Amino acid sequence: MSDKTAFIHSDSIERLHYPEACPFKTERAGMTKSLLRSMGLFDAPESFEAAPVAAGEEDVCRFHTKEYLDILKRVSTGNMTSGDLFYGLGTEETPIFYDLLPYSLLAAGGTLTGARLLLDGSAQRAFNPSGGFHHALPEKAGGFCYINDIVLGCRELTRAGKRVFCLDIDAHHGNGTQEAFYNSDQVLTVSIHESGKSLYPWGGFEDEIGAGKGKGYNVNIPIPSGTDDDAFLFIYNTLVPPLLDFYNPDAIVCEIGMDILAGDPLTHLNMTNNVAAEIIPGLMQHHKPILVTGGGGYIPKKTARGWALVWTALCGQESQIEEPLGMGGVFLGSNEWQGGLRDMRVYSRGTKHSGIHSEIAATITKIESTVFAMHEI
């Protein structure tokens, strides 16, 4: 069995962009690679770079409708109609732009390329920082997402008979992924996200647990605004490892959006990139193929640093990087970069802190009394 780690990127995806005014910056993937290179961490032992192969019509239509794909093709040539709004196209968060289709096909193709590398045994772990478009629905764009690469990647694995544990720690609920597998037990979806009470896409509550054969195989873990690393890791460690042990999947797919980071302009969490570094070794302990994607993250530099940390963790190199020890940032209330890849930790305090912990305890109780009880976990 291969023990290699693949970084999915190429010069051709590097050249494609959303409109300048859009907060979604495709450049983050290239920035991640440049940062890793500058620190001598890109060419980790047993790692290699693989170019994404653009998703084809057959691939895309394993989740999206042909009609929707044809509309994406048409709008990408500048030929728009007022009816396109019905498909979620042409809003501030789903702009229509020249690179829309080539970028979306290449980004989705990157996740498919990763899934195929795992399936043919070329890699045990793959990271597509250009993936993570979990809001796209079969015929609707949403939240900067047009083609749902997470769904396509999971489908590629389930088509090969694999049972997939799909974990999404982006700040937003993975609504498109939920919809794809809501009736299926072939994919156990777990989404940990800022509560839909305060954030788009306004759903992803604890009682959405799947239906039919999929009942109990869709787990939503909403967390309150202001959640810090300690609160996140508490709920994560209470709920996710037992679910992973119970399901014992053949492969793991994980979306890591860096819009979880404190200060992100689109979200309200108070976390640092340390959480990503801390959960990856636990996922790797299962010795199952892992496909990791990027996702949100609207402070490009912090996002790239977080994903660079993800890469070093996937390559088993993370322990070689020192965590900054300076306490100045804590006292000054700043989590500015102190060197290395890890952020300075930030903590929620006072009544905010106790409010977060009581909400988290209530969420744990709800999930334990439904999903956990159903599976006798």
Q: Which residues of this chain interact with Zn ion, rule CB under 5 A? A: 170-172, 257, 259, 296
What is the rounded distance in angstroms from the CA atom of residue 247 to the CA atom of residue 165? 8
Q: What amino acid occupies position 40?
A: G
How big is the chain, counted in residues? 377
Strand-by-strand arrangement of the 251-255 sheet = 47-50, 5-8, 125-128, 290-293, 251-255, 164-168, 187-194, 218-223
Q: How far is the CB of 88 from Zn ion (least distance, A)?
A: 16
Residue with tokens 């597509």, as numbered in its chain: 128
Nearer to Zn ion, 229 or 259 (CB): 259
Residues 6+ apart with CB under 8 A from 126: 5, 6, 8, 50, 113, 114, 115, 117, 118, 290, 291, 292
Say which of 64, 135, 172, 173 is annotated catalytic: 135
Nearer to Zn ion, 59 or 168 (CB): 168
Is 135 annotated as catalytic? yes
Nearer to Zn ion, 162 or 172 (CB): 172
What is the rounded distance in angstroms from the CA atom of residue 235 to the CA atom of residue 194? 13
Query: Helix or strand or coil: residue 221?
Result: strand
Nearer to Zn ion, 94 or 158 (CB): 94
What is the rounded distance in angstroms from the CA atom of residue 34 to the CA atom of residue 29? 9
Q: Which residue is nearest to Zn ion (CB)?
A: 296
Q: Which residues participate in catalysis according to the annotation?
A: 135
